[in-house]
Chains A and B, each alone.
Chain A
């Protein structure tokens, strides 16, 4: 199957700093990517849809100025957590869809564990 690479896999940062997470589709082009957040023992929560060449679409309750998304190319989307606070500590996962018969299939990155201290 297709490969999505997410980097870094884990990061620790101080409160008030910004952290950038990269999501790359390695062997296919992705005009759309999704960014999820997952708290311990909970399911994936969609944060935003990243669209190549245009603005991201944010889900209700997600601060667009805090979670900056850039989708500058067909293979790269970035999520920047700005002015991070301890409550931003979470597991962030990106996915890129690929069309297939009958619908679509989502390929996921490895996830990024963010700890804000």
Chain B
């Protein structure tokens, strides 16, 4: 079993829809959680960073962490074609800088 599970998709939704992206993990030692967005042939860019259970909102993006269920989500409201990309979840623990990555979900927003 992988430490982090993420459905690779692709996930295709119409413009304006609410998108839900998810990751599950098995190691309860993970303390901080991140969502990255990666456009084709580019390096990943950080979208959201959280280190506690609950919700964190930034514009159209909301990151949700449920440590008891070992489940994290990223919600995108009012999705736009420019949101089409691969979204990767990542998580880490303590002072160890190494992150454990999900496989990435390819998201397609149809105009």
A106 and B43 contact, CB distance less than 8 A: no
Asked whether B34 is an interface residue with its Cβ less than 8 Å from the other chain, the reply is yes
Asked whether B88 is an interface residue with its Cβ less than 8 Å from the other chain, the reply is yes
Asked whether B99 is an interface residue with its Cβ less than 8 Å from the other chain, the reply is yes
Least CB separation from B10: chain A residue? A41
**7 additional contacts, CB 8 Å, given A32-B97, A44-B88?**
A34-B97, A49-B98, A97-B97, A102-B31, A102-B32, A103-B32, A104-B92
Asked whether B60 is an interface residue with its Cβ less than 8 Å from the other chain, the reply is no
A-B contacts counted at CB < 8 A amount to: 65
B45 and A91 contact, CB distance less than 8 A: no
By a CB distance below 8 angstroms, the chain B residues around A108 are 36, 43-45
By a CB distance below 8 angstroms, the chain B residues around A41 are 8, 106
Least CB separation from B100: chain A residue? A46
Q: How far is the CA of A95 from the CA of B99 in the complex (A)?
A: 11
By a CB distance below 8 angstroms, the chain A residues around B102 are 43
A43 and B101 contact, CB distance less than 8 A: yes
By a CB distance below 8 angstroms, the chain B residues around A34 are 97-98
By a CB distance below 8 angstroms, the chain B residues around A99 are 95
Which of B88, B92, B104, B106 is the one whose CB lies under 8 Å from A103?
B92
Least CB separation from A44: chain B residue? B101
By a CB distance below 8 angstroms, the chain B residues around A107 are 46
Which of A67-75, A79-87, A109-117 is found at the contact surface with chain B?
A: A109-117
By a CB distance below 8 angstroms, the chain A residues around B99 are 104, 106
Least CB separation from A106: chain B residue? B99
A110 and B42 contact, CB distance less than 8 A: yes
Interface centre among A101, A104, A108, A113, by most B CB within 10 Å? A104
Asked whether B103 is an interface residue with its Cβ less than 8 Å from the other chain, the reply is yes
